[in-house]
Chain A
Amino acid sequence: RREFAAWCQAPGTEEGESQASGRVSGAPGWNAPAQQGIVLAGPGGCCGRSLVAVTAAQSMAAAESPSAALRRRDLCSRGIRLAGKMRADVVDLLDAYVEQQGLDASASVAAVEGVPLAAVERWDEQTGTQRLLENLAAYRAFRALLAQMLEEQREQLGEADAGLGRALAAVLLQVSAFAYHLEELLRLESRGIPGEEGDGPPPPPRLSLFEQKLRGLGVLRELAQWAVRSVRDLRQLAKPSPATGTAPGLAESP
């Protein structure tokens, strides 16, 4: 249960003794030397600009009310549906993208920078919060990447091939919605929502058009992978945990 308190402790709270392991920045007086628990991905950490302070998380989570459990289950099942739909749409978009960009569907593409890999070792050992945070980080990255793709698409194609642009925008919307959904789930776990990075990472070096195409392919492929993974993650989260009965999947793994 320490995991819950590991987030961005406010000084003076009861859990002030336990130290958050996430890198805390932008919140003066919130000191969090790394010790254990979750390490937040990306700069800015959990306590960026829009840090949400969490208090008494531990007790709340431990004593999750039946209605909260129901709500979580509901959120999970809706999330699963969202992810399933997103997966289907992304697969379609991938086909259209490969076709329209004249790419070889079998081309191997390097991993996209900034996106956590969907495939992880020891997936089954992850805690629920870990899963949610990883998912959130990934979809936030996808949101930025898809927005960039959309912008590039507009620059390169103008009004031509508007259909692909619409499909991209639709997927972007789904990704945004899913990220929001994940935030809801995290809120339900009485978790602070990691802040979004302020100005974001420095803009990537200008890629050649062919590199842009390949990166787009990589983004969509990875997004398709992530959609599958998210379904699995949410299923895992939705499972009733015998330990607590109400907060399944949230127990910290050894």
Chain B
Amino acid sequence: MLIYLQLSSPCPCLFSPMSGHLNLQPPERPLRIVARLLLPHSDVLSSLETIAASLLTCETKNHPSEEKRKRELQEVNLTFKGGLSKKRQMEVTDAIMMVRQAGVPARLTAVAFQYLRGSLGDPQNLKCVTHNLHKMLCTWDVSSEGKYGQTDFCYTTNDLTPQVCFKTKERRVEIPVPESSITVIIKSSGTASATKEFVIHQKDISFIPITPHILSLMPDFPNSALNLKWSDNGSVFPYGLDALWQIQILRKEAMEIVTQVTYYSKLTHEDVILSWSWRSDMPLECTSHYVKIRCYINATQFVGPKDWSDWSPAEVIPGKDTEPGGSGVFPLDPVVAVGSDLTFCCVHEEDQRITNMTYGSKSYTMTQLSSRSHAIRVLNANVSNSSGTNVVCRLENGLEGSVVFVGYAPDSPQNLSCETSNFLIIKCTWKPGRPSGLYGDRRTKYSLFERTSGKNVSCEVNEANKDHVCDFPVLPDQKNYDFILGVSNPIGQAKSSLLVNITQRVHPKTPEKLTVTGNNSTSIQLRWFINGSFAEIRLLCQIEVSSSHSERKLHNVSVPGRKSSTYTAQLNELHPDTKYQLRVRCSAADHFWRWSDWSRGVEQTTSEAPPARGPDIWRERSPSGESLIVFWKPLSLSESNGKIVSHEVSCYLLDTLLEHKVVFEPSNSTEIKLGKSDCVIKVVARNHAGSSPPSRITSVGLPSDNVTTDQAVAMGNGINISWDSYPNMTCGYIVKWCHSSGSEPCSVDWQKFPSNTTNVVIKSVRSGLKFTVTFESFLHIFLYCCSMKYFLAALFKPGVRYNFSLYGCKSMGYQLLKNITGYMKELPPKTAPNFIVEETSSDSILVKWEDIPIEECRGFLKGYLLSFAKGEKDALKPRLSNSGNPELKVNNITDLTKKSMKILDLQGKTSYQLELQAYTAGGIKETFYPEIPNPENSKALQFQRNICEGNKTLKTLEMNPCTPNSVEVVEAQSTSPKIEDTEMMSPAAETTVPEDGSESEMENHVVVSYCPPIIEEEISNPPTDEPGGSSQVVYIDIQSMYQPQIKPEEEPEIDLVTTAGYKPQMQLSISALKIEGHSPVEEELDKTAGYRPQANTNAWNMGTPDSPGSVESNNENASFGSPCSINSRQFLLPSKDDEDSPKPINTGWSFTHFFQNKPND
């Protein structure tokens, strides 16, 4: 018995019981299984124990080096005799296991056993294998004697077919594969000839496909990919068999298996070339890669055992580490996606040593691939900077490197939009999305492909722009464009598509060269140019018309498009003499897409036209009745149609022109010497373009009777005037009044009302008033210096009496119906009535007083309060009205006609204090604090006011620059307070601070700015220059206690320090000092004076500093009552027996400054 052990080449095959071959699978397969398959034949084996022993011996004896051992093991042939018991079988199995565990190398992949059995010379052990299902290869064994002889070989498949015989010297024949079985007779010749008959069934035939052959293996170094091609040999097999292909990738010199994949195909009875690609995680340059393939054909009809083919010989892609001189870092300059895992290797010369390998700035652990190649693995790569990330391999004497670019595949373009501005170029824009992080040659590239035409343009885009733009030419006779925007970079690609009808995507360029080609008073012709070829569409153009006094208006014009042409339009219904700003923009008319930008604007002023109507007129007879004054109101801007240059006033008696006058601007009235006669007055307004229609009014004043005078007080913002209906007033009513502002003559104003009116409110705020702000600082001043109410020009001021006249209009003329006096707001009287004491007896006095002038009443006078009390100066303090002084008596005199009062039951030789107050519905003055000056008087807000029949149609607020931090006080010369008293006690005088007369002097102060409190005093009214301007205060004292006791020299002793702080009023000491000349202390005083918005003391006339007030105030706190509304007297009643008692006198001290200092220092 012969046992044959063969260590075959490293081509693993599965165990085949018929062939007796055994393939050990790759090392990871347990050998135990293989050994078990082997065992059915073990009873004919002699001693596998010895095999194992020999293997071990071979291992231990002959392995000076692993390489050598591998070689030797492949060549070992061992022969043994004998059998194997069951026990031995197990032992052999274990032994082989031990052999493998002892490190029999991977190349030892096959152990094959063959055995021969039988008598000498007999052919035996017939085995048949088919590779193609048509033919099979049968082999048998013979004894040594029969080895070299000829063999007669016959076979027959069944009884019907004749036996086929032939002679052979070999012990293998190729015969057809039987459908079921085949009978084989083998007759060996020679000395001991023997004949043996075998019956082979299909199930005994093995099917092992032909070993595949690799046609090509191509490396793709940049992509680290392998491309494999092989033929399926399908032509030899029936159609439709399933084929499995097992492909193994191995790496490194040691041929470590990297991966094994199974590829499926169907055989088509033709030779088909199959291909397969594989991408390596390691660059192919780094080390050698091997590929081998085997196949398994699933021939289901074939009942015999089927097996995988042998592995094809390995094909190799040699690494750079096998090239002499090959070196570098690989992959070279790759572009990869963010997040990739990357392997880099450094290939170097055999004798060089690597110091380290870095990716960017970080050093990585290296793994050795071969003696000349080392690798690092970088996980989850981050986006690299513009110049890439360096992978550097530092060698002992040199440097190798590669630059890797890590970025993103392009996003799909967003918001792709295409439009044309000129029908020559289509401009497509889109948003690129996330930046790729790749630049230069690796940047993302765009191309615009149009499907209909097949035209493709590549786009030069500026990466820095947020919106990307690409131009595509407009193609002749093509309206619809089916665009595909392709985007690609080395990492990936994307696309976006858009179908547009270009006539619906017109975005014209900005109109140019907008010019006015003609105009008159109500129309303007415009011309402009648009670059672009719009012959196929209509354009819709919009003309924006704006002027300073009208709202912006848009006019649409639709014009047929032309090729790079000018377009015209005419604007009508414009207003004469108006400066218009014009600009134009255009779009497509039929399919609006987008407006162009607005063109540059042009300005054009329409020419003037005659005024639209005649002015509003009124007339009044002069007081003498000899002449007629004609008033007119300015026309509004919309009516004047140009600059009014003059008014023409004519006076007709019937058709006879009595007088004709031309009155040039800015006059708003004229006087016509008419004598006592009457006429019809016609007034026309004239501008450069012509005259308005005439306005007519008759001079006839119809006689009136029972003209009453009513009183009216404002409700809300105007003065309410009502009257009973006068049915015969056929053409309405006129309310006329007069504005007086200071020294200017009263200016007449009027309003007309229809006949059915019986109740009107003459508003204080002029509704049509317009302000034109000329300084940019308006807002600043507005916010900081002023408050809104100051901008509403109040026609009527509080505390001022206005006289209104109501006229009725009849066809014959105007009739005065009634007069109305009114106040916008009633205020307490400005002054107290001047009173004197007469007829002093031992127990009574007669007090007489005078009327308060109308302008000082500041309201409708309601009555007087006459108070008196026993005692000295303090008797009337703190107030008469609520004093605890039980002696105090108050008489309320409401009969305004009464001008005197006798007070009885007085005690003789007793001193009394007497006080007379006037009051209105506005009360008695209560406060000492300065009132906010009327802003109309402010220089910061000077109004060019339309007073009565102002001839200016445009009211302009002239903004003088506010001078913050300063208050300028200017005192008018005309209206100084007229106060006759010695001592003025305000009912609210508890504050004990001197009153500066702000209330009384309100009209006289011009406050430039209401900003913080540093005071510059401007003396506009030196006291010495104004002899008549000051009021005289007559001090009357029964006891003639009027010798001056305070000398001016003494006054500077006042403690200046105490004067700091809030002081609404002035210090007298300042004025006193000023009298003496300009002391250096003066300025200091000014600074310490605190808040002094009001008068400078020099403004007050101080001709008599030695006023008795000084005396009187000796024991008082320096306190000035209101100079206005209270007069008080101190007097001593003479005893009845005192013959020499002085007569009351009406003359006394006259002092012009009624601020008195505390003189008790």
Q: Which residues of A are interface residues toward B (Cβ below 8 A)?
A: 100-104, 107-108, 154-161, 208-211, 213-214
CB-defined contacts of A101 to chain B, threshold 8 Å: 387, 390
Stretch of B9-17, B116-124, B438-446, B990-998 with 4 or more beta carbons under 8 angstroms from chain A:
B438-446
Would you give 5 A-B contacts (Cβ < 8 Å), ordered by A?
Answer: A100-B385, A101-B387, A208-B401, A211-B401, A213-B387
**Other-chain residue from B332, B390, B399, B443 in contact with A102 (beta carbon distance below 8 A):** B390
User: Given A102-B390, A107-B399, A156-B387, are A210 and B441 also a contact pair (CB < 8 Å)?
Assistant: no
| Set of chain A residues within 8 Å of B329, measured between Cβ atoms | 210
Shortest CB distance A50–B (Å): 35
A100 in contact with B439 given A210-B403, A214-B399, A214-B401 (CB within 8 Å): no
B233 within 8 Å of A (CB atoms): no
Known A159-B439, A208-B402; 14 more pairs at CB < 8 Å: A101-B387, A102-B390, A108-B399, A154-B440, A155-B440, A156-B439, A157-B440, A161-B387, A208-B333, A209-B388, A210-B333, A210-B390, A213-B387, A214-B399
User: Please, which residues of chain B bring their CB within 8 A of the CB of A156?
Assistant: 387-388, 439-441
Asked whether A159 and B390 contact (CB < 8 A) given A108-B399, A209-B333, A210-B333, the answer is no
Tell whether A157 pairs with B439 under 8 Å between CB atoms, given A102-B387, A103-B390.
yes
Please provide the chain B residues from 213 to 236 with a CB less than 8 Å away from any CB of chain A in the complex: none
A208 near B360 with CB under 8 A, answer no
Whether A160 and B439, one on each chain, are in contact in the complex, defined by CB atoms closer than 8 angstroms, is yes
Question: Which residues on B sit within 8 Å (CB–CB) of A107?
Answer: 399
A95 to chain B, nearest CB (A): 15
Does B387 lie within 8 Å of A158, measured CB to CB?
no
B288 surroundings in chain A (CB, below 8 A)? none
- Chain A residues contacting B462 (CB-CB under 8 Å) are 159
**Min CB–CB distance A212 → chain B (angstroms):** 9
B430 to chain A, nearest CB (A): 18
Total A-B residue pairs with C-beta atoms closer than 8 Å?
A: 69
CB distance from A69 to the nearest CB of B (A): 49
B386 interface contact, C-beta 8 A: yes
| Chain B stretch 490-511: residues in CB contact (< 8 A) with chain A | none
What residues of chain B lie closer than 8 Å to A208, measured between beta carbons? 328, 332-333, 401-403
| Min distance, Cβ A243 to any Cβ of chain B, angstroms | 47
Considering only residues 310-340 of chain B, those with a C-beta below 8 Å from chain A are 328-329, 332-333
Please give the distance in Å from B1010's CB to the nearest CB on chain A.
Answer: 57
Q: What residue of chain B has the Cβ atom nearest to residue A154's Cβ?
A: B440
Contact of B464 with A by CB under 8 A: yes
Closest residue of chain A to B397 (Cβ to Cβ) is: A108
Are A157 and B386 closer than 8 Å at their CB atoms? yes
Range of interface residues on B (Cβ < 8 Å):
20 to 34
Encoded as 1 (CB less than 8 Å from any A CB) or 0, chain B from 368 to 388 comes to 000000000000000001111
Contact B390 A161, beta carbon cutoff 8 Å: no
B385 nearest CB neighbor, chain A only: A102
Q: A103: which B residues are within 8 A, CB to CB?
A: 390
In the A-B complex, the 9 residue pairs with the smallest Cβ-Cβ separation, listed nearest first, are: A210-B401, A160-B386, A209-B403, A158-B440, A160-B439, A156-B440, A158-B439, A209-B333, A102-B390
Inside 8 A of A100's CB, which chain B residues have their CB?
385-387
Q: Is B389 an interface residue (CB 8 A)?
A: yes
| Residues of A with C-beta under 8 A to B400 | 210
Q: How far is the CA of A114 from the CA of B400 in the complex (A)?
A: 22
Q: A101-B387, A208-B333, A213-B390 are in contact. Are A160 and B403 (CB under 8 A)?
A: no
Which residues of B have CB within 8 Å of A154? 440
Checking A102, A158, A159, A161 against B360 with a beta-carbon cut-off of 8 angstroms, the contacting residue is A102
| Min C-beta distance of B533 to chain A, whole Å | 33
Q: How far is the CB of B398 from chain A (nearest CB, A)?
A: 9
Q: Which residues of A contact B439 (CB under 8 A)?
A: 156-160
- Shortest C-beta distance, B1098 to chain A (Å), equals 72
Give the contacts of B873-911 with A (CB-CB under 8 A).
Answer: none
Q: Is B463 an interface residue (CB 8 A)?
A: yes
Q: Chain A's nearest CB lies how many Å from the CB of B1123?
A: 80
Could you tell me which residues of chain B, from 459 to 476, have a CB within 8 Å of some CB in chain A? 462-464
What A residues does B332 contact at CB under 8 A? 208
Contact partner, B441, options A102, A155, A161, A214, Cβ 8 Å: A155
A189→B388 CA distance, assembly (Å)? 48
Contact A213–B399 (Cβ < 8 Å): no
Whether A102 pairs with B389 at a CB distance below 8 angstroms is yes
Chain A residue at minimal CB-CB distance from B399 = A107
Q: Which residues of B contact A104 (CB under 8 A)?
A: 392
Report the bound CA distance from A159 to B329 in whole Å: 28
Cβ of B391: which chain A residues have Cβ within 8 Å of it? 210
Please report the C-alpha to C-alpha distance between residue A104 and residue B363 in the assembled complex, in whole angstroms. Answer: 13
- Most chain A CB inside 10 Å of its own CB: which residue of B333, B360, B361, B387: B387
Q: Kindly state the separation between the CA atoms of A108 and B385 in the bound complex, as whole angstroms.
A: 23
Do residues A161 and B386 form an inter-chain contact, with CB atoms below 8 A?
yes
Complex Cα spacing A58 to B441, Å: 54
- Binary flags per residue of B787-824, CB closer than 8 Å to A gives 1, else 0: 00000000000000000000000000000000000000
C-alpha gap A103/B403 in the complex (Å): 11
Contact partners of A108 in chain B: CB under 8 A:
399
Complex CA gap A158/B438 in Å reads: 9
Closest chain A residue, CB of each to CB of B390: A102
Q: Which residue of B lies closest to A100 (CB)?
A: B387
Q: Which residues of B contact A213 (CB under 8 A)?
A: 387, 390, 401, 403
Inter-chain CA distance A156–B403, complex, in Å, is 11
**How far, in whole Å, are A101 and B332 apart by their CA atoms in the complex?**
16
Chain B residues 341 to 362 lying within 8 A of chain A, measured CB to CB, are: 360-361
| Docked pose: A101 CA to B389 CA in angstroms | 8
Whole-angstrom distance between the alpha carbons of A155 and B388 in the complex?
13
Complex: chain B residue closest to A102, CB-CB: B390
The answer to whether B387 touches A157, judged by C-beta atoms less than 8 angstroms apart, is yes
Query: How far is A104 from B393 in the complex, measured between Cα atoms in Å?
Result: 12
A residues in contact with B440, CB < 8 Å: 154-158, 160
Residues of A within 8 A of B401 (CB): 208, 210-211, 213-214
Within the assembled complex, what's the spacing in Å between the Cα atoms of A158 and B392?
A: 24
Give the Cβ gap from A98 to chain B, nearest Cβ, in Å: 11
List the B residue with the shortest CB-CB distance to A161: B386
A159 is contacted by which of B328, B388, B463 (Cβ under 8 Å)? B463
Q: Which residues of B contact A210 (CB under 8 A)?
A: 329, 333, 390-392, 400-403
Query: Which of B360, B391, B399, B464 has most chain A Cβ within 10 Å?
Result: B399
Give complex CA distance A210, B332 in Å.
9
Q: How far is the CB of A112 from chain B (nearest CB, A)?
A: 15
Instruction: Take A102-B360, A102-B387, A210-B402 as given contacts and tell me if A158 and B333 are in contact as well, using a CB distance cutoff of 8 Å.
Output: no
Of listed A101, A102, A154, A214, residue having the most chain B CB within 10 A: A102
Residue of A nearest to B391 (CB): A210
* Measured CA separation A156–B386 after assembly (Å): 8
Q: Which residues of B contact A214 (CB under 8 A)?
A: 399, 401
Residues from chain A with Cβ under 8 Å of B361 in the complex: 102
Contacts of B403 in A (CB 8 A): 208-210, 213
B-side contacts of A158, CB under 8 Å: 439-441, 443, 463
Cα A241 to Cα B451 with chains together (Å): 80
Q: Residue among A101, A107, A161, A210 with the most chain B CB within 10 A?
A: A210
**What distance in Å separates the Cβ of A168 from its nearest Cβ neighbour in chain B?**
13
Rounded to whole Å, the gap between the CB of A251 and the closest CB of chain B is: 43
Contacts of B463 in A (CB 8 A): 158-160
- Whole-angstrom CA separation of A107 from B399 in the bound complex: 8
Chain B residues within 8 Å of A102, by CB: 360-361, 385, 387-390
Q: How far is the CA of A160 from the CA of B401 in the complex (A)?
A: 23
The contact string, 1 if C-beta is below 8 Å from chain A, for chain B 388-416, is: 11111000000111110000000000000
CA distance in complex: A159, B360 (Å): 23
Q: Which residues of A contact B390 (CB under 8 A)?
A: 101-103, 210, 213
Interface mask (B427-462 → A, CB under 8 Å = 1, otherwise 0): 000000000000111010000000000000000001
CB distance from A227 to the nearest CB of B (A): 25
Chain B hits for A160, CB < 8 A: 386, 439-440, 463
Contacts of A211 in B (CB 8 A): 401
* CA of A101 to CA of B463, assembled, Å: 21
Of all chain B residues, the one with the shortest Cβ separation from A210 is B401
